[in-house]
Structure 1
Amino acid sequence: MSDVTQRRILVVETGAIMLPVEADAVAAVAKCFRALGDPTRLRLLAFLLNGEHTVAECVDHVGLSQGRVSMHLGYLSECGYMQVRRAWQVRLL
C-alpha cells in the first residue's frame, strides 16, 4: 500500500476533514468555518439545537435587535447549519 493510500485511510479512521483544493470551494468552506467563529451565531445555533424557534424567540434569547439576529440566522442558513420553514405565517428555525 502506498503512503498516500495509508494517509487517506488514516484520515478516515481519525475522522479528520478532507478539504477541497479549488479556490471557490475553499472560500465556501472558510465562510462556513467563520460562521462558527462568532459567539452570537454559536449561541443561536446551540439554542436552535434544542428545537424549533421563531425569530422573535431567538431575539429574546440573545438580546439583540431583530435585524442583527436575522443577519446571523441568514449566515447560518447559507452555510447549511439550519433551515427555515413557515408554519401558519410564522417562520420557524
Structure 2
Amino acid sequence: MKPHWVYILASQRNGTLYVGVTRDLPKRMHEHRTGLFGGFTEQYGVKTLVFAEPHDTAMAAIQREKNLKHWPRRWKLALIERDNPDWRDLYDDLL
C-alpha cells in the first residue's frame, strides 16, 4: 500500500516554505515543478523538496500537515535541518 506523504518545499530565491500532503509524492512534485499545481508554489517559486515524511493513513498525514502549518518557522527549519542538513533537493531520490 502506498503511503501518504507530508512534505515541505522551499524556494531557492527567497526562502519561502510550503507544507503539503499527498498520496502520490512523485506526481505532486511534477505538478509543482511544471506549474500544473499553480497557486502559491508557482507564484513564489517554491519547488525544492527539502522534507518528506510517510504516513500510513490519510488522517495521520493530514493531521501532521495541519500541525506543521501552525509551527513557527524556526521549528520547521529545525525539522528540515535535522533530516536534511545540506538542504539537498530530495526530488531525485523519488525517481
TM-score, length-scaled by structure 1: 0.26
**Which structure has the larger Rg?**
1
Higher RCO, Cα 8 Å, sep 6+: 2
TM-score (norm 2): 0.26
Write 1 or 2 for the structure with the bigger share of helix. 1
Going by fraction, where is strand more abundant, 1 or 2? 2
